[in-house]
Amino acid sequence: MENVFVVDSLSLSTGIALLALNAIKLVKEGKTAQEIYDISIKLREKIQVSFIIEKLTFLYKGGRCSALQLFGSNLLRIRPQILLIEGKMSVGKKFRGSINDATKAYCNEVIEANPNPDLDTVFITYSTATEEMLNHARTALKNKGFKNIYETRAGCTVSSHCGEHTLGLLFINK
């Protein structure tokens, strides 16, 4: 079919949303389908996708971590960051303490590690979250200067693999 291009976002649903919102801007600028495709392919590598997870229980039940890792993370109250890089998930930084304290540290870390974000749009995506977790994320993003902060519920992939109290920040890096 002519002028139909399939973009593998190498991301999750909210990452796809970031690409779609950017594509809408490009349409309004008068870009062609080929130009939008080319820009989207380059842009997908600049999408920051990460989550903080309260417990490894769901990862363990899904065969993604060992019983020893589950035991150790629960014992030491480790809250891992899951990064999505080039379509693959990996463990990033590990935070300790309550999920509320870990979320605050996670949000600050993500913002610090990405010093040049596109401040137009950011998503806070979560399976479930305490109001304190959401407030930490909102405050950190507002302080950074993000204009449009959207809150969305995580899809079934993140929710079923990561469980409750999983919260992620997603935005485009310049």
Q: What is the pLDDT of residues 35-62, one digit of tens each?
A: 999 999 999 999 999 999 999 998 888 8
Measure CA of the first residue to CA of the last residue in the chain; give whole Å. 32
The CA-based angle 14-15-16, given to 5 degrees, is 90
Of 57, 56, 59, 109, the C-alpha closest to 79 is: 56
Percent of the chain with pLDDT over 90: 77
Q: Which domains does the chain have, with CATH numbers?
A: 13-45 (no CATH), 46-173 (3.30.1180.10)
The answer for 86, left when phi > 0, alpha when psi is -120 to 50, beta otherwise, is: left
Helix (H) or strand (E) holding 112: helix 99-113
- 68-80 per-position pLDDT tens digit: 999 999 899 999 9
pLDDT for position 2: 83
Residue 135 token pair: 């407030």
Helix (H, G, I), strand (E, B) or coil at 87: coil
Of 78, 109, 108, 105, the C-alpha closest to 94 is: 78
Percent of the chain with pLDDT over 70: 100
Residue pair 169/124 in contact by the 8 Å Cβ criterion? yes
Report which of residues 163 and 106 the model is more confident about.
Answer: 106
- 119-172 per-position pLDDT tens digit: 999 999 999 999 999 999 999 999 999 999 999 999 887 887 788 999 999 999
Of 118, 104, 108, 107, the C-alpha closest to 147 is: 118
- pLDDT tier at 67, thresholds 50, 70, 90: very high
The answer for 77, left when phi > 0, alpha when psi is -120 to 50, beta otherwise, is: left
- pLDDT tier at 106, thresholds 50, 70, 90: very high
Report which of residues 89 and 54 the model is more confident about.
Answer: 54
pLDDT for position 102: 97
